């Protein structure tokens, strides 16, 4: 494969660079801020150090780092790239301007993918001459430790581009999920939004405290969702599978969903309650230290799940 261009070297952009480099692909990284590019080698070294003990830095961690190269212009990044992964700020006008610039520079065969977490490609690429090679490839933070990538093509995206993007992400070891229709928030953040709304409501109305809410997911639903989704979960919760489950429990679940919170759950009052519950982890340094803990846990979990998948395959 030709190289991958990374546009924007923040947390997400660096994670993407690591994903492709770890899989053996050359990566060129550009960021409009020179200071960010200056820090890149140290940042990548830190990622290698954190992930290598869990087998998440590729077969040769030093080679992974060596494949990532900072460049000083977007032209240099894009020249001959199979795919450019844009990971700039989640601001519509900024993304519009950046995509116009990338589209003017890039060769027609270069795929332009945005890491946007909620904005559809229709909103920022619809006016471009090269809009047929534009789409969203939404990762989770950090991409090198959480493998899903939501591929959201716009109605104007060439289906062959969508398929090439899918194949590129899959070859790099990610798990691509291709949306069949565009929707704001895609799938992941829509599901996260309903969980947040109902969680915030239950906390604000005094049914449960912040820690109890987190424990219910962490020591309950999250145990299953780490290795199977909600649809397979219900398929195993009735003797006759998902259809049987929905016959038995659908009305009860529908009743609970009917009374669920929406937009109105996001109040300043509940933000204060949740903020107070994490008062000891709310300054940038302490948040960063805890993010490091999270990333180590994600790396350990990735190693565990990979070992289990290998075990299951060996048994088949």
SS3 label, residue 149: strand
- Between 108 and 181, whose beta carbon lies closer to its own copies? 181
Shortest Å, Cβ 292 to its own copies: 10
Shortest Å, Cβ 14 to its own copies: 16
Q: How many Cβ atoms are within 10 Å of 64's Cβ, its own excluded? A: 27
Give me the sign of the Cα torsion angle 27, 44, 41, 150. positive
Residues forming a β-bridge with 177? 150
User: 187-200 b/e with 16+ CB inside 10 Å = b?
Assistant: ebeeeeeeeebbbb
* Tokens 């020179």 sit on residue: 34
Secondary structure letter of residue 221 according to DSSP: I
User: Per the structure block, which two tokens stand in for 130?
Assistant: 């090269």
Give CA angle at 303 (297, 307), nearest 5°. Answer: 145
Shortest Å, Cβ 313 to its own copies: 12
Shortest Å, Cβ 37 to its own copies: 21
User: Per the structure block, which two tokens stand in for 196?
Assistant: 């947040």
Alpha-carbon distance of 313 to 316, in angstroms, equals 5
- Between 108 and 206, whose beta carbon lies closer to its own copies? 206
- Between 30 and 169, whose beta carbon lies closer to its own copies? 169
Shortest Å, Cβ 23 to its own copies: 16
- Between 3 and 144, whose beta carbon lies closer to its own copies? 144
Shortest Å, Cβ 177 to its own copies: 4
Strand 83-86 with 68-70, pairing: unpaired
User: Per the structure block, which two tokens stand in for 92?
Assistant: 């519509």
- Between 102 and 149, whose beta carbon lies closer to its own copies? 149
- Between 119 and 125, whose beta carbon lies closer to its own copies? 119
For residues 9 and 17, is the Cβ–Cβ distance under 8 A? yes
């Amino acid at each position: 494969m030709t190289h991958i261009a990374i546009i924007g070297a923040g947390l997400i952009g660096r994670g993407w660079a690591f994903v492709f480099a770890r899989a053996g692909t050359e990566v060129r990284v550009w960021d409009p801020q020179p200071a960010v590019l200056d820090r890149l080698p140290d940042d990548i070294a830190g990622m290698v150090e954190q992930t290598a003990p869990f087998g998440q830095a590729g077969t040769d961690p030093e080679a992974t780092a060596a494949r990532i190269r900072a460049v000083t212009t977007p032209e240099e990044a894009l020249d001959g790239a199979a795919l450019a992964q844009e990971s700039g700020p989640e601001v519509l006008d900024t993304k519009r301007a950046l995509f116009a610039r990338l589209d003017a520079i890039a060769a027609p065969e270069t795929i332009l993918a945005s890491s946007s977490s909620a904005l559809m490609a229709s909103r920022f690429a619809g006016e471009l001459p090269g809009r047929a090679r534009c789409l969203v490839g939404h990762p989770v933070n950090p991409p090198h430790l959480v493998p899903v990538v939501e591929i959201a093509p716009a109605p104007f995206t060439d289906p062959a581009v969508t398929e090439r993007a899918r194949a590129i992400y899959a070859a790099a070891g990610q798990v691509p999920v291709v949306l069949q229709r565009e929707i704001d928030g895609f799938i992941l953040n829509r599901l996260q939004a309903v969980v947040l709304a109902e969680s915030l409501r239950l906390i604000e109305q005094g049914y449960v405290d912040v820690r109890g809410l987190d424990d219910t997911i962490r020591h309950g639903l999250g145990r299953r969702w780490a290795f199977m989704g909600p649809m397979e979960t219900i398929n195993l919760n009735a003797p006759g599978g998902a259809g049987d489950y929905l016959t038995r429990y659908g009305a009860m679940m529908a009743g609970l969903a009917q009374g669920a919170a929406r937009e109105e759950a996001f109040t300043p009052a509940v933000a204060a309650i949740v903020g107070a519950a994490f008062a000891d982890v709310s300054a940038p340094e302490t948040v960063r230290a805890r993010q490091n803990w999270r990333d180590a846990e994600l790396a350990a979990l990735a190693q565990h799940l990979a070992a289990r998948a290998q075990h299951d395959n060996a048994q088949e």
